[in-house]
Chains A and B, each alone.
Chain A
Amino acid sequence: MTKRAFIFILVCVGVAALASAQTRRRPRTSRPATQTQAPRGSAAKYSAFLHSSDKHKSLTCNECHKVPTGWAAKRDFPDVADFPDHDACVRCHRQQFFTRQSMIGTGPAICTVCHVRAAPREDMRFAFGKPNNSNQQAKAKDERQFTIEFPHDQHQNVIARWRGVQSVRLESHHGFKSLKADDKKPDYNNCSICHQTDMSLAIVALAAPNTDPAMLHPFKSMPRSHDSCFNCHWKNQKPVAADCAGCHQPAATFIPELGRKRISAKFAHEGGKGEHIAECTTCHINITRASTTRGLTPDVPINACAACHRDSKKTTYPKAVTIETELDQFKKTGECTYCHAADVGKKRPPPSHDAAVQ
């Protein structure tokens, strides 16, 4: 046997052993009959994963993403918390994994879709949800390939019943503070079930004398994780967890709304010296008509503020700073400071503000 033939046999045995190890690592799932092998193409072509490729678009999400996946170490609830199993890729891309060409140099380029390096013992992967989209430049915004479809009005329907006044606990950055029995605030369950005080957000740094902790965390959060969906849609209630397309639709670019632009940055839901007890929809007047989160308008018209913050209401709310006071202040200093931070407060008050106190 020549030396060249011996090396060739050695390489073949090595590749066969590697292929065997790859396919034995996890239990195999049945291969869909319609799957065909992807054409060879260049290695570089397979170093980027695209949900939008024709072949990938023809698959249902759960042909690759199994629900749940790899959640135990990362979440306290079952979730799709990791990349699909090797089998999801190998069943169509065997050639990209196991040809001799793929084994030379830096290893199969297709591995670098998920793995930081293409090496048999290299398990380090990119963060799930942010695979290596091959040489793409880092983007300033969190762009995604799928939208989130959420019928806000339907969810409001099922949870929007009124139970009246209940005792609640105020959440502050000092911890929980129980309210006294005679100090009860209404619990507007219909919104607070999903939107709680956002403890990660402190928009305005307050001056030392203002020690109201509620002002440090003025806004409400939005649901971020699958937990908020799966608690009702894990199974049986459609769309169920395994039906990814029930909530996510492919999009060229989708930038999730991670926070609203705050116009009245100094407003605090829990502030108002404890007097902000109106129901959420009393001020967010357009929110109940929103059938989707796109174009959802949580805007609060100044008229809602004027219901209390105007001179004619001073007998009811003697301590309230009024819109008229702020308009006068603007004439003197060129800035409205009670509700607005400087970015908004230095602009001329819109006509709606004058109209609201007429």
Chain B
Amino acid sequence: MKRFAFALIFFLFPFSFFLVAQSTQFGVVRLKVRYKSSEGTKDLPRKRFFLIKGSIDQNRALIEKIKQTSLASLECYYRSHGASEALIKWLKDNDCESVYCREIEDKYLSGAEAVPEFQKAFEQALNELKNREVARRWLTNYLAPEIRSGFYDEKQKMIQALLSGPEASTKAKVMSIMTDRKGTGYLTNIEPGTYTISNVVASETDKTSIVWICEREVKATDLGTAMKRPMMLSNEADPKVKCEVVERPLAACN
């Protein structure tokens, strides 16, 4: 009997590795995000998407909150905080949500393109740091907080508030990735299961803001397969993808 048990274990031993290997296989999702506007179909660049455990139905309470959440447009936010026309133009020209996204060049400190907020901050910085080049590079330290990164901070607060529930229930940070300029992003090393994929707070496009709430069943797969079969998110109806899309026109600023 003992000999039989030993033989059984001996022959089953390699299969245990196989089972372990199978169970530790992870999934990959290649996201491809596009939107259709009056100017045609465009890729959605540089936007963060979150991978939330559970189906849309399982996350219904969160999804309702996401749908109800709205954020002032970037332009309206800055106008409401008294930003100058020049600063708003700088933000738009540079496709920026905050002053951190570009180095502030000399031409914005004096001359025709000067931004008053930058000029004032630069003068304060120069007065304190005594070095023109350092003052230019460090001038964001001397801007008012709402001008510096107020819009971005508000958006992050909203995202944090919305994701605090899922993070508390899983006791882990919700995984997120950012799309590249072609609207592509990879969610890798995911445990197989059903997930909700969303940008959580609406992303501004040309004339609208869009929030995607999509469901995906992730199976163990390799990157090569995922690359060939991307998960397409769009503001147009697609029967292949289970998505709830909320698109709102950008409101005019008061």
Contact = CB atoms under 8 A, between A and B. Distances in A.
Interface stretch (A211-219, A234-242, A338-346): A234-242
Given A236-B145, A279-B181, A288-B185, A159 B176 contact: no
A163 B95 contact: yes
Contact of A237 (B141, B156, B223): B141
Interface in A266-307: 279, 281-282, 285-286, 288-289, 291, 301, 303
A231 interface: yes
B75 interface: no
Contacts of A221: none
A237 B149 contact: yes
Given A158-B152, A189-B102, A355-B224, A163 B94 contact: yes
Contact of A234 (B138, B181, B224): B138
Contacts of A163: 93-95, 102
A77 B98 CA distance: 24
Contacts of A3: none
A337 interface: no
A131 interface: no
A356 interface: yes
B178 A156 contact: yes
B199 interface: no
B195 to A, nearest CB: 14
B134 A77 contact: yes
B100 A232 contact: yes
Contact of A162 (B45, B134, B175, B188): B45
A255 interface: no
Contacts of A286: 186, 188
A288 B101 CA distance: 16
Given A285-B188, A286-B186, A161 B46 contact: yes
B245 interface: no
A206 interface: no
B173 A291 contact: yes
A65 to B, nearest CB: 19
A234 B227 CA distance: 42
B101 to A, nearest CB: 5
A153 interface: yes
B140 interface: yes
Interface string A12-34: 00000000000000000000000
A76 B181 contact: no
A49 B224 CA distance: 53
A279 B180 contact: yes
B48 A157 contact: yes
Q: What's the interface size class on A, roughly?
A: 35 or more
A279 B180 CA distance: 7
B149 A158 contact: yes
B148 A237 contact: yes
B176 A162 contact: no
Interface in A67-105: 76-78
A193 B100 CA distance: 10
Contact of B178 (A160, A227, A231, A235): A160
B222 interface: yes
A109 to B, nearest CB: 39
Interface string B122-138: 00000001010110011
A112 interface: no
A270 B184 CA distance: 22
B232 interface: no
B117 to A, nearest CB: 14
A163 B92 CA distance: 10
Contacts of A234: 138, 141
A190 B181 CA distance: 11
B83 interface: no
A117 B213 CA distance: 67
B101 A161 contact: yes
Interface in B56-103: 93-98, 100-103
Contact of B97 (A161, A193, A232, A236): A161
B33 to A, nearest CB: 13
Interface in A222-247: 227, 230-237
B100 A159 contact: yes
A189 B102 CA distance: 8
Contacts of A156: 178
Name, among B45, B129, B134, B173, the residue most crowded by chain A CB atoms within 10 Å (CB to CB): B134
B46 A162 contact: yes
Contacts of A78: 129, 134
A301 B223 contact: yes
* Top-3 shortest CB links A-B: A288-B178, A285-B186, A161-B95
18 contacts: A76-B131, A77-B131, A77-B134, A158-B152, A161-B96, A161-B102, A163-B95, A189-B102, A190-B46, A230-B141, A231-B140, A237-B140, A279-B180, A281-B185, A282-B182, A285-B188, A289-B176, A355-B222
Interface of A: 76-78, 153-154, 156-163, 186, 189-190, 193, 227, 230-237, 279, 281-282, 285-286, 288-289, 291, 301, 303, 355-356, 358
Given A77-B129, A282-B180, 10 more contacts: A156-B178, A157-B152, A158-B98, A158-B149, A162-B45, A231-B137, A232-B100, A232-B138, A237-B149, A288-B178
